Structure 1
Amino acid sequence: MPPDIIIHNGVLMTFDDARPSAQALAIADGQITALGSDADVLALAGDATIRINAHGGTVLPGFIDSHVHLFGGSVELDCLDLYGVEGLDAMCAAIRPYAEANPGDDLVFCVMADYGILGTGKTPTRQDLDQILSDRPLAMFAPDHHTIWANTAALETTGLLPGGTVDAGSEIVMGDDGLASGELLEPGAYSPILALTRHGGREMLGLTTGKDPVPPATLAQRTMDKDVLARGLAHCAAQGITGLHLMDGNTYQLELLSELEAEGRLLCRCHVPFHMKGTDPLERLTTEAPVMRDRFQGDMVRCSHVKMFIDGVMESGTALMLEPYPGALGANGNTGDEVFTQDHFVACCIEADRLGFQIAVHAVGDAGVRRTIDAFEAAQHHNGRRDSRHRIEHIEVIHPDDIPRLADLGIVASLQPGHAPTGHFFPPGSEDQYLHPHQIAGAFAWQSIRKAGARVIFSTDWPVIPVDVMPNIRAAIAPLDLGPEWVDQSQSLEETLASYTRDNAWVEFNERNKGKLKVGMLADVVVMSHDLTTLAAEEITTAFACVTICDGQITYQRDR
């Protein structure tokens, strides 16, 4: 039977040791059926075979972004992006026209507002935002999605102006006048603000609570939510992405994605977690998580991991650190905010591991990372060692003593090169606000972790940074030089691409089906515009995806 698709005149990077390179491949019925020379593979073509000329570009397994928030990222494609905006005047110039153009929005919602948007050390207040808009609710999301700043109208509408009780690890920051200052730290504080968005906060429920909408979404809301997810999936496919590991989850998202699959609109394979909060009873893992997992076990939509947070982020002083932060962040001995009590966190890890789940934990600070390693170790002692592939997400700071423990315990380091101050995305120079000089050796220590033997995988954490693959690859292979005190953590192109493809397939226990260009593998393939191996590291972002194929179907195609 002739193949459905042939890709020829390419430079295939297969990640298959038995056949590391080739010129062409054939696809039929969603699988790779042949690799070889142009002549050999083209000879298999039939009249209906689609022939794709790679024009000498690199052909890879489809990219897998192993840490995204798909629903939130999809919604934010239509929000006002304040990336690069600095100062109150520039904020007014951006926000007021956007507000006028969207008079029906209950909340004027902006994203990518830098912590230093009003200058280093100046935290936005409700009074600052009132100068921009005073008669309508206005809120800004920080890039890391751990902080929202809201104006007085937004705080009044949500009942947050006088303050209130929030979950552990969250905070409604209060002003000297006894009212909320406008700064809301972590989901337990800012969830009422998100309820005012166009999607009613449904886009972030998988992150803020892990529960489904209450009351249940109407048919019109489900249609609206599916349409925005479809747009986000198309945006991912345009980057050469064929797989996504979501790091926020609920049954609602899994249902929407399954409906998109049935409608032929699911362009990427999606792994969705069961989200466990620090305030949740242990019984949720035993009673709810297995039911959710067992219901969704398809090739395109799957639930197989549990996601938890152990801490916050350094920029707001909520990441857990082994010693107080420097300067103002360390006032009153602040070492961060505890999202889980350690006893409860260890118990949750033991139970999730006992149930056979993979565990993914957000841990940013060196104390948060250590607590997570300790909990994974406790699970091994309690349940016995197995091929768990448990993951720590971010590891922005790790104590050097803990680096070898990752490999010893088989823990996967799930890292985002574009988040680092060396990553070309966030402005460098502010790290002295939250790192002591002696902590820099363990900061964003990708290569140190890799050299110590731990498996390293790469992702973006979209929408913290764009889901675009090539800028994140540049962050890994051509990081900025911040001076001699910063260890060079540069990655090679091959290990970076492997971490984005083969290794991200491995971490989802799918190495026998994807992550390589090999006969019998699922036909998830990307054709790049250039031979990536010929580009200087600094020029890697000139390359782009020309064709994306997921499950044997062309999900994206563009001219060169």
Structure 2
Amino acid sequence: MSEKHAAYADYVLASNAIFTGLDDQPIAGAVAVKGNRILAVGEASEIAAYVGPDTKRYQYGDQLIMAGFHDFHIHLLLGSLQQQCVHLLSAKSEEEAALMVKEYGDKNPDEPWIIGFSWYHLFWDNKQLPHRSTLDKYFPDRPVFLFNAECHGAWLNSKALELAGITRETPNPPSGEIARDENGEPTGFLYETAMALAKEAFNFPRDRRIKLLQGFLDHAAKLGVTSVADMFPLVTMELGDLEMYREFDETDRLTTRIHFLVELNEDLSYPKRLRDEYKSEKLQFSGLKNFLDGVPATYTAYMLEPYSDKADTVGYTLMPPEMIEEWTVNADREGFRIRYHACGDAAVRLGLDCFEAAQKANGVRDSRHTIEHVEVIHPSDIERFAKLGVIPSMQPEHIAAAEKYEENAYRSRFGSERIPYTWPINSLQKSGAKLALGSDFPVVGLEPMTELYRAVTRLHNDGQPVGGWNPQERITLAEALRGYTIGSAYANFREAELGTLEPGKLADIIVLDRNLFAIDPEEYRETEVSLTMMNGKIVFEK
């Protein structure tokens, strides 16, 4: 055997369809893996030289082999909770949601706080925000905290308000609101930063923290998600578990790579320490994040012009713009990467303005600053992403905010003039911006197949509108896959190690049960993962 092939592969994965990420179509051949690295990729005859007596060989026929999915925007702890808590998206009324919570609470009597997710008043028959009294009927003495579908608001019962110290005298926090009735009493709904007043709901004992993290890792492996960017900040709350992440990393139990972000504020000493401390192959500090605005559903996204169905507001910023710019310039000067939540077109512009100010103050560098969501944009700002080197981080599933196209509230919020510029994925890509895709789990599920379907078709679940919502913004399957692999790897400064199937890269490889390039997009969401390999180890096999 030649010196070139002195090391036999541990694994050889062969298929008629291998998407390396380097071309638009899959190739036939095999991938050889040695240790935690890809040894070779090529035709089966070339890879045969790497097969030794102990090499494990897998033949996948026409199933698609590709790099592991790299979800560029999740909230890991929240998502873990959602998997193990009550899920309320199917409720059609306030009372039905409360009964679902009651059923869950009866089955889980030992949980001190009942935590739930994904109720959405716009899906309810009366479309009204809920009241604490409905929960109080079933839970007079047990605190309840229920995130709405966007996790930008929460519904609490009276006991939860009491434990959080929220009364009629409690002032609204900056950029948040305690909803009140005509007598000034809290109704039980907390907007944006007001949710942090009840953050004691998330103080969990060690055994539950282990269960939450392991539940997420198992779920991610089953879906072929081998890397994530974990956003700790959630409108003034930081929800992450670094201690548990590090324990799993050091004991070789971390089966998904975690790139985590903490809150951007005026104090940079804490992130400086994290940057020095967390830099393993599987657990890395990744940067700073904050919120420029809220979300269109509650009119808290910051718009350049008034909402089409509420002409008295343009939404608002969650921090004073001059403070945002100061923090941006200071953090950029210290070499930090910054990621801003920005849904409205005015918030997107504000983020770009701040990044431009940082370049003027500190000089141009490879910062890979990022704007999250970009749910609507002013056309004059599209070219600025590539010009400034700013990454658009997009979550295609948010396009279908309602089951049916006719029920999508964004249509009435934005109006006909702005609708063509909603989720401008293809326009940003064509302008030269480097696209990174993710899910925003648990606002929607972690399933990459759903995101691919939405990016390629832009259809709602009712198949409408014909041709897709803003069909000019559809992208190809190959583009969507790259956005979900090498695009996110690049955005996390890991393109040299992750995101494509190339010799020398880390062996994060998945096999799907069919070739996506040979099926109709309607089948994408039926596709499952047959095998997930992370760091050269099989972490899931169907």
TM-score by length of 2: 0.92
Q: Deviations over 1:62-112 (max 9, x none)?
A: 110000111111122110111222124532442222121122223222211
Alignment of 1:302-321 (within 5 A): 302-321=284-303
1:393 aligned partner, one-letter code? E
Aligned with 1:477 (options 456, 461, 465): 456
Alignment of 1:219-234 (within 5 A): 221-234=205-218
Which residue of structure 2 lines up, in the alignment, with residue 446 of structure 1?
Answer: 425
In the aligned structure 2, how far is the partner of 1:495 from the partner of 1:63? 13
Q: Structure 1 residue 368: deviation in Å?
A: 0.7
Which residue of structure 2 lines up, in the alignment, with residue 499 of structure 1?
Answer: 483
Aligned with 2:251 (options 247, 250, 263): 263
In the aligned structure 1, how far is the partner of 2:258 from the partner of 2:490? 15
Aligned with 1:176 (options 171, 179, 182): 182
- How has the CA–CA distance of structure 1 residues 163 and 466 changed in structure 2, closer, same or farther, with 3 Å as cutoff? farther
- How has the CA–CA distance of structure 1 residues 303 and 346 changed in structure 2, closer, same or farther, with 3 Å as cutoff? same
Which residue of structure 2 lines up, in the alignment, with residue 324 of structure 1?
Answer: 306
Say which is worse superposed, 112-121 or 358-367, in terms of deviation. 112-121
Say which is worse superposed, 110-119 or 536-545, in terms of deviation. 110-119
1:9 aligned counterpart, secondary structure: strand
In the aligned structure 2, how far is the partner of 1:150 from the partner of 1:179? 13
Aligned with 2:382 (options 382, 398, 403): 403
Aligned with 1:547 (options 531, 534, 538): 531
Which residue of structure 1 lines up, in the alignment, with residue 4 of structure 2?
Answer: none
Which residue of structure 1 lines up, in the alignment, with residue 437 of structure 2?
Answer: 458
In the aligned structure 2, how far is the partner of 1:185 from the partner of 1:226? 30
In the aligned structure 1, how far is the partner of 2:406 from the partner of 2:441? 18
Which residue of structure 2 lines up, in the alignment, with residue 167 of structure 1?
Answer: 173
Does residue 352 of structure 1 match 2:318?
no
2:516 aligned partner, one-letter code? L
2:195 aligned partner, one-letter code? Y
1:253 aligned partner, one-letter code? D
- How has the CA–CA distance of structure 1 residues 451 and 237 changed in structure 2, closer, same or farther, with 3 Å as cutoff? same
2:119 aligned counterpart, secondary structure: coil
Does residue 85 of structure 1 match 2:91?
yes
1:150 aligned partner, one-letter code? L
In the aligned structure 1, how far is the partner of 2:12 from the partner of 2:126? 54
Q: Structure 1 residue 304: deviation in Å?
A: 2.8
In the aligned structure 2, how far is the partner of 1:237 from the partner of 1:425? 31
Which residue of structure 2 lines up, in the alignment, with residue 364 of structure 1?
Answer: 343
Does residue 374 of structure 1 match 2:353?
yes
Contact 1:309 1:363 in 2 (8 A): yes
TM-score by length of 1: 0.89
Contact 2:508 2:533 in 1 (8 A): yes
Q: Structure 1 residue 53: deviation in Å?
A: 2.2
Aligned with 1:338 (options 312, 317, 333): 317
Alignment of 1:286-297 (within 5 A): 287-297=269-279
Q: Deviations over 1:249-308 (max 9, x none)?
A: 6797333212101122100111111312xxx4x2x12x2221110111111111131111
* Identity between Structure 1 and Structure 2 (%): 30
Q: Structure 1 residue 344: deviation in Å?
A: 1.1
In the aligned structure 2, how far is the partner of 1:33 from the partner of 1:222? 39
Q: Structure 1 residue 43: deviation in Å?
A: 4.3
Does residue 8 of structure 1 match 2:17?
no
In the aligned structure 2, how far is the partner of 1:370 from the partner of 1:70? 28
- How has the CA–CA distance of structure 1 residues 113 and 167 changed in structure 2, closer, same or farther, with 3 Å as cutoff? same
Count of residue pairs the alignment pairs up: 527
- How has the CA–CA distance of structure 1 residues 496 and 320 changed in structure 2, closer, same or farther, with 3 Å as cutoff? same
1:167 aligned partner, one-letter code? P
Which residue of structure 1 lines up, in the alignment, with residue 3 of structure 2?
Answer: none
Contact 1:526 1:547 in 2 (8 A): yes
Contact 2:94 2:130 in 1 (8 A): no
Contact 1:76 1:111 in 2 (8 A): yes
In the aligned structure 1, how far is the partner of 2:415 from the partner of 2:353? 24
Which residue of structure 2 lines up, in the alignment, with residue 217 of structure 1?
Answer: none
Say which is worse superposed, 36-45 or 105-114, in terms of deviation. 36-45
Contact 1:226 1:260 in 2 (8 A): no
Aligned with 1:531 (options 492, 515, 529): 515
Aligned with 1:435 (options 414, 435, 442): 414
Does residue 56 of structure 1 match 2:38?
no
Alignment of 1:119-134 (within 5 A): 119=125, 121-134=127-140
Aligned with 1:193 (options 192, 195, 198): 198
Say which is worse superposed, 484-493 or 372-381, in terms of deviation. 484-493
Q: Structure 1 residue 475: deviation in Å?
A: 0.9
Q: Structure 1 residue 521: deviation in Å?
A: 1.0
In the aligned structure 2, how far is the partner of 1:190 from the partner of 1:299? 34
Contact 2:78 2:239 in 1 (8 A): no
Aligned with 1:76 (options 70, 82, 99): 82
Say which is worse superposed, 120-129 or 12-21, in terms of deviation. 12-21
- How has the CA–CA distance of structure 1 residues 124 and 252 changed in structure 2, closer, same or farther, with 3 Å as cutoff? closer
Contact 1:69 1:462 in 2 (8 A): yes
Contact 1:319 1:337 in 2 (8 A): yes
1:494 aligned partner, one-letter code? A
In the aligned structure 2, how far is the partner of 1:557 from the partner of 1:368? 43
Which residue of structure 2 lines up, in the alignment, with residue 212 of structure 1?
Answer: none
Contact 2:232 2:240 in 1 (8 A): no
In the aligned structure 2, how far is the partner of 1:358 from the partner of 1:228? 28
In the aligned structure 2, how far is the partner of 1:223 from the partner of 1:400? 50
In the aligned structure 2, how far is the partner of 1:89 from the partner of 1:506? 46
1:193 aligned partner, one-letter code? A
Q: Structure 1 residue 427: deviation in Å?
A: 8.1
- How has the CA–CA distance of structure 1 residues 89 and 71 changed in structure 2, closer, same or farther, with 3 Å as cutoff? closer
Contact 1:423 1:476 in 2 (8 A): no
In the aligned structure 2, how far is the partner of 1:417 from the partner of 1:238? 21
In the aligned structure 1, how far is the partner of 2:42 from the partner of 2:248? 35
CA RMSD of aligned residues (A): 2.3
Contact 1:14 1:517 in 2 (8 A): yes
- How has the CA–CA distance of structure 1 residues 253 and 89 changed in structure 2, closer, same or farther, with 3 Å as cutoff? closer
Which residue of structure 2 lines up, in the alignment, with residue 218 of structure 1?
Answer: none
In the aligned structure 1, how far is the partner of 2:443 from the partner of 2:80? 12
In the aligned structure 1, how far is the partner of 2:488 from the partner of 2:403? 23
Which residue of structure 1 lines up, in the alignment, with residue 229 of structure 2?
Answer: 245
1:315 aligned counterpart, secondary structure: helix
Which residue of structure 2 lines up, in the alignment, with residue 413 of structure 1?
Answer: 392
In the aligned structure 2, how far is the partner of 1:426 from the partner of 1:139? 30
- How has the CA–CA distance of structure 1 residues 425 and 38 changed in structure 2, closer, same or farther, with 3 Å as cutoff? farther
Which residue of structure 1 lines up, in the alignment, with residue 154 of structure 2?
Answer: 148
Does residue 254 of structure 1 match 2:238?
no
Aligned with 2:281 (options 299, 304, 307): 299
Unaligned runs of 5+ residues in structure 2 are 1-6
Contact 2:17 2:65 in 1 (8 A): yes
1:436 aligned partner, one-letter code? G
Q: Structure 1 residue 131: deviation in Å?
A: 4.5
Contact 1:254 1:296 in 2 (8 A): no
Contact 1:30 1:523 in 2 (8 A): yes
In the aligned structure 2, how far is the partner of 1:91 from the partner of 1:526? 38
Which residue of structure 1 lines up, in the alignment, with residue 263 of structure 2?
Answer: 275
Q: Deviations over 1:22-76 (max 9, x none)?
A: 4101100111111222343244222322222223211111110000111111122
In the aligned structure 2, how far is the partner of 1:549 from the partner of 1:484? 36
- How has the CA–CA distance of structure 1 residues 360 and 427 changed in structure 2, closer, same or farther, with 3 Å as cutoff? farther
1:23 aligned counterpart, secondary structure: strand
Say which is worse superposed, 446-455 or 339-348, in terms of deviation. 446-455
Q: Structure 1 residue 453: deviation in Å?
A: 2.2
In the aligned structure 2, how far is the partner of 1:163 from the partner of 1:44? 72
Which residue of structure 2 lines up, in the alignment, with residue 205 of structure 1?
Answer: none
Contact 2:146 2:156 in 1 (8 A): yes
